[in-house]
């Protein structure tokens, strides 16, 4: 009881590094799309309108970027 537990074990730390490295390997366009989709909460239609491409292209780019991240980690 005299020690404080830490939820951040080595695995969490390594996972975070792996994720950062995987994201750094994406193109600027892919990073921008993922940022708008998952950090800014925009829809694919909103992203498409802002970037100037179709919703289908956003969908394909998003799916490809997530696939790259999954393969890298």
For residue 35, the 8-state DSSP code is I
CA atoms within 13 A on the CB side of 58: 20
Residue 8: the pLDDT is 61
Residue 11: the pLDDT is 76
Q: Which residue has the tokens 């830490």?
A: 6
pLDDT in tens, 18-73: 999 999 999 999 999 999 999 999 999 999 999 999 999 999 999 999 999 999 98
Residue 34: the pLDDT is 97
Structural domain boundaries in the chain: 27-72
| pLDDT greater than 70 at residue 3 | no
């Amino acid at each position: 009881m005299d020690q404080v537990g830490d939820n951040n074990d080595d695995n969490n730390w390594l996972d975070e590094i792996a994720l950062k490295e995987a994201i750094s390997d994406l193109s600027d366009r892919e990073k921008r799309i993922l940022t708008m989709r998952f950090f800014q909460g925009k829809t694919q239609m909103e992203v498409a309108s802002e970037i100037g491409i179709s919703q289908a292209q956003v969908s394909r780019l998003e799916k490809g970027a997530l696939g790259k991240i999954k393969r890298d980690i």
